Structure 1
């Protein structure tokens, strides 16, 4: 074996086996865009910052275990600005940051991805009074400062699906539109983290139905890393608030109401060639007809290659009508519908071999076969590399350092798949 021999990303002899492996892996959840769950708790309570495990909490390992067994391996984690940064422009609170990091590590150990959702509606409770971004006491610079510090602290976490920069902006000041706020947050994050996806919710409570009226201009946001996902929310009660105060008939519901409400957002994504995500949707189970609404809605998302996270799970919800937290070890009725849609469908557009080779035309993997390390050239320092075995199980995640992935000597003899930026880039042999 010559360690200086450089092997291209893929030669003709490798194509057949690589295609077979990719086909097999595309059947599993990790290779497709995952559906998931909101695990609330860190956003609970009106007392700010409040006391941990009294006013609010973070999801536990047992909660993660349950949702992993159901196949929901994407978690949207709501948390509060007031708790992670007690004084505006101050350092991140070390205790709260530790809670977030502990949760990320627990999720990573279960091969689960996490969306960090700043659940603040473009507001911050200051001295007991809620301030809106753009007011005298709360500026765009304040929230930019927060996200710059969060990205600096968390950018090396391997299982962050994306930074959810603000939950449900609404009723903002004319002088401080959501577009301007979002752009500055993006600028702040990219000053320290060029790799992690940024998830931008829409204005007017992130309404999918009202997207064209309130959020059309978000298509003009600029991200130098070109890694934005747009987030909409959809509920099916009369005012789309998700409170469901009425019964199915009084809410004017019908089987395809979810499809009708999300269609403006889906059409916008397709017209502008953008990536979307449904961060919240949920139904009560006091009428089986809601289950049909949910099934039709998720089927439509699946057909259009859009994933989402159900609202919500977590034991602190108690008897909340939308909760899918199990009771007495019994699944809620909604769960049977959710389990049907664990990933977007296999017919969604994927990167073909030709475009793969074009994108990674300077990529080299060597030595191949390898013994203890693999050099990867043509990528950037700090890029996250995932290595899977032939059974499509994640073996190791490493950031590129000096263009090398190390400490592979313990791996058994066999074929391994290399993934970068959610794309398979080649195979290596031990």
Structure 2
């Protein structure tokens, strides 16, 4: 803590709120919130307390926190989630979320169940199955009616959602409380990996999943998107591409909104997707922030 990772500070959160950013996605590690599978949530002075402090502060400001278990479909205790994995079983994943849901039931917290399932055992059908189990358990075993975000295989990529089977696997997905949305991710670089500041495609990668969701009455939340900083030489075209993407999300009915990747003080100043200013007092805003600024609440 403080060396390899940190939680948002009150200074950061105050800056977000002052700049009309109303929903903050907070990536956390399963292993830090629950030190042993099926064990209790971490205790006092541990990560659960730190997370509580973040949620309490941003909620007090009037904002909503997206609690994002950022584990790519697994746990270091024993690999990827699967019904037939004797260690990191679907039951273990359910256990984590039942405990988290009970803790934050009906607070200003959305539940992003698992970031970017990928790798062994993370096919479309398996991911859909264990996501459904978690949703069923949250609604049946807790009082939580919070919004739930459901991601998909292939790093939850929007451009692969329909083409590579995640859409088909989720056709009958159901939430007893009817308060969920699917949460794809979409980067605008050449291969949509989010590893380059070169901006290539804005909304084209969103059209297939938008059409699928609209036809079936599903809602969508774009969980991650980022492009290069248009204030940096050779990245000037990123403003037009990001504006196109944000405009498309704003104007298409399945989309509830977007969380932009690259927030937080720990990113290097030269990180291509850095969203925050160099300091929260008098430093100029980044191009990544300026690109989304026209789409923030009045």
TM-score norm. by structure 1 comes to 0.62
Deviations 1:194-246 (A, max 9, x none): 4111110122111111111231122311211111111010001121110017x
- 8 A Cα contact 1:81 1:124, kept in partner: yes
Separation in 2, partners of 1:170, 1:114? 24
Q: Which runs of 5+ in 1 are unaligned?
A: 1-51, 346-430
Give the corresponding residue for 1:335.
Answer: 289
The residue aligned with 2:12 is 63
1:69 Cα deviation from its structure 2 partner: 1.8
Greater length-normalized contact order (CA 8 Å, ≥ 6 residues apart)? 1
Give matches, 1:117-136, under 5 Å.
117-126=68-77, 131-134=79-82, 135-136=85-86
Task: Find the counterpart in structure 2 of residue 290 from structure 1.
Answer: 238
Distance 1:98 1:156 in 2: 18
Deviations 1:59-79 (A, max 9, x none): 011101111122111101110
Q: Report whether the alignment pairs 1:203 with 2:153.
A: yes
Higher helix share: 2
CA contact (8 A) 2:101 2:144 kept: no
Match of 1:233 in 2: 185
Matched residues in 2 for 1:55 and 1:242: separation?
21
CA distance in 2, matches of 1:76, 1:194: 19
Residue in structure 2 matching 1:301, options 249, 273, 277: 249
- The Cα shift of 1:176 comes to 7.1
**TM-score normalised over the length of structure 2:** 0.89
8 Å contact from structure 1 (residues 209, 264) kept in 2: yes
Contact 2:276 2:289 in 1 (8 A): no
> 1:359-370 counterparts in 2 under 5 A?
none
- Distance in structure 2 (CA, Å) of the matches to 1:304 and 1:200: 19
| CA deviation after TM superposition for structure 1 residue 96, in Å | 1.6
d(CA) in 2 for partners of 1:175, 1:194 = 26
User: For structure 2, which runs of at least 5 residues remain unmatched after alignment?
Assistant: none
2:92 equivalent to 1:142: yes
Change in Cα spacing, 1:139 to 1:310, as seen in structure 2 (3 Å) is same
Q: What does residue 51 of structure 2 align with?
A: 100
SS at match of 1:75: strand
- State whether residues 197 and 227 of structure 1, in contact with CA within 8 Å, keep that contact through their aligned partners in structure 2: yes
Aligned position for 1:182: 131
Q: Secondary structure at the match of 1:76?
A: strand
Point out the structure with the larger strand share.
Answer: 1
Give the conservation status (yes or no) of the 8 Å contact 1:277–1:308: yes
RMSD over equivalenced CA pairs, Å: 1.8
CA contact (8 A) 1:234 1:280 kept: yes
Equivalent residue runs for 1:388-427 within 5 Å: none
Name the counterpart of 1:85: 34
User: Are 1:110 and 2:54 counterparts?
Assistant: no
The answer on 1:260 being equivalent to 2:204 is: yes
